[in-house]
Amino acid sequence: MNGLPLSDPAVVDALGAVLRERGYSSDGIAALLGDDAGTALVGGTWWPALRATARADGAERDLATLIRLFLLGSIEAEDVVAQAFSPISPATLVDQGVLASGDGGYRAVLDIRPHGSDSHDYLVVSDQDALLRARPLRHDHVLGIGGASMSLAQAVIRTPVDRVLDLGTGCGIQALHLDGHSRVVVATDTNPRALALAAVTARLNGMSWDLREGSLYEPVAGERFELIVANPPFVVGSGSQDYIYRDSGISGDGVSRQLIERAADHLEPGGIAQLLANWIVYDEERWDERIGEWVRASGLDAWVVQRELADPISYISLWVADAGETPEGAARRGAAWLDWFEREGIAGIGMGLVTLRKPVTPRAPDVVIEEITAAGQEVTGFEAQAWWARRDFLREHTDDDLLAAALSTSPVFLESQSLPGEQGWQQISASVTRPGGPGAVLGVDEVMTALLAGCRGEVPLGTLIELLASYHGVEGAALAEAALPVVREAIGRGILFAAE
């Protein structure tokens, strides 16, 4: 191979044409594999897919070869490879870093796979991961589509914007999704190989991005954006850079801190930054202390959601296994890493999503830091956008405004917990939950349960509170004072909303 992979645009175009002609798409692969083998492959079990591709015949044979090379990591004979990629020769693909020869055939160096969205089917180009290659990853390995990248893509607010920054683009998966609602996509990375593969991803999908090499915000000095998205090399460590995709070269959690604290300089008023981040936790009882310092130092509105708090051994084991090193090498690296954690007094690592917003006009920032770990309560772009709309509503409406408003209750579940006692079942707690809403759970008592039931968008909140106060024999003003903080929390969680 000469230089960076797929450096010849003519070969990229020819490869794209071959893949399309062979039906190498989400639908084409699903049809060839069948439901059961396709589901097994998604779950990490490959042999049913190997079996399905071995049975392919006729026009499907070439598609089967592509699946085995790019998705299953197999070695294929020269004549089979030549047929599948015709009119591109295997020698050209080796020279362009797509394939490698050896062991009597060819194997794929790159991972090229379809990636479907609601309306499009894309092709994404990265390096093959450790599961498909029995050797450690290269230093400049380019990560493909993973759980973290898809979590971020799911969480991004998709309002159309003019200019967007994808910081740490890697293979370009975030830029791919951003392209559909942005006029200009600027994508940066410190890894030249990543930028090369991101350029291939863009070209294969008929897109054009402004790709720039550099660290953190250096490539965009003096520029501002309406949206910044980042899945950076946030792994917490001593500062060594064993693998560019995970290690920033900055000690500790410094890369996450710098991205957060400097975001305001690169956001337009009203602009949003959505970042995956890791942060050091020295005391599990105060996990929010360190990340809280950063977001408050930024001067921006912030919604921090910790999705997981990992202990040092679990955290290190995850990243050591990800690199595909030998057991001996992994043991040495893991031990040295854990030694560093112990010297630093690190109790755990917080992992989650940080959403920042620059106020349109100067004011005190609105900061919420919380832990939401339940499955099915992941942050989505729709929920993130609704979150900020609700925060604005609460800031702009006084308690008197709320008492005069007709509120409605969203579709929620009421759940109660009871214990058996001398008088039968005795309720000890109750809560309402808005399905799918991150953290949309509210503890309620008898009065709040009745109040939520009465909020149908027809009667002002103040009137409902007066009726409840009369029924329970208490002062209306006292009940309002007690209920309004809970009402505000319910609005903030999307459990209550203004009917108009």
- The whole-angstrom separation of Cα 406 and Cα 459 is 5
- 414 and 314 assigned to the same domain: no
- Retrieve residue 409's tokens: 């209750």
Global pTM?
Answer: 0.93
110 in Cβ contact with 137 (< 8 Å): no
- 94 and 156 assigned to the same domain: no
> Of 27, 221, 202, which is closest to residue 125 (Cα–Cα)?
202
3-state secondary structure of 188: strand
- 208 and 347 assigned to the same domain: yes
- 413 and 341 assigned to the same domain: no
> Of 426, 215, 252, 219, which is closest to residue 340 (Cα–Cα)?
252
- 235 and 357 assigned to the same domain: yes
Residue 91 to residues 63, 67, 84, Cα–Cα distance (Å): 20, 20, 13
* Residue 412: CATH number of its domain: 3.30.390
- Retrieve residue 469's tokens: 């106060």
- Token pair 């400049």 is found at 140
- Retrieve residue 276's tokens: 């995956």
Domain ranges, residue 348: 147-381
Q: Which amino acid is at 329?
A: G
- Retrieve residue 264's tokens: 């305001």
- 449 and 320 assigned to the same domain: no
β-sheet bridge partners, residue 184: 163
371 in Cβ contact with 293 (< 8 Å): no
In this structure, is residue 418 part of a structural domain? yes
- 184 and 227 assigned to the same domain: yes
- The whole-angstrom separation of Cα 8 and Cα 422 is 81
Residue 100 to residues 5, 45, 96, 106, 260, Cα–Cα distance (Å): 12, 24, 10, 6, 41
- 370 and 401 assigned to the same domain: no
Question: What's the domain count of the chain?
Answer: 3
Q: How does pLDDT run along the chain (500 residues), one tens digit per residue?
A: 458 999 999 999 999 999 999 999 999 999 999 999 999 998 888 899 999 999 999 889 999 999 999 999 999 999 999 999 999 999 999 999 999 998 889 999 999 999 987 678 999 999 998 777 667 788 899 999 988 999 999 999 999 999 999 999 999 999 999 999 999 999 999 999 999 999 999 999 999 999 999 999 999 999 999 999 999 998 999 888 888 888 888 999 999 999 999 999 999 999 999 999 999 999 988 999 999 999 999 999 999 999 999 999 999 998 887 777 778 888 988 999 999 999 999 999 999 999 999 999 999 999 999 999 998 899 999 999 999 999 999 999 999 999 999 999 999 999 999 999 888 898 889 999 999 899 999 999 999 999 999 999 999 999 999 999 999 999 999 999 999 999 999 999 999 999 87
* Residue 246: CATH number of its domain: 3.40.50.150
In this structure, is residue 263 part of a structural domain? yes
- 410 and 343 assigned to the same domain: no
Radius of gyration of the chain (CA): 27
Name the DSSP class of 138. Answer: P
- 415 and 364 assigned to the same domain: no
- 277 and 304 assigned to the same domain: yes
Residue 434 to residues 376, 393, 414, 415, 453, Cα–Cα distance (Å): 11, 19, 9, 11, 14
- Retrieve residue 230's tokens: 């980042």
- 368 and 231 assigned to the same domain: yes
Angle at 98 between CA 92 and CA 102, to 5 degrees: 85
In this structure, is residue 290 part of a structural domain? yes
In this structure, is residue 286 part of a structural domain? yes
Residue 241 to residues 72, 138, 428, Cα–Cα distance (Å): 29, 12, 52
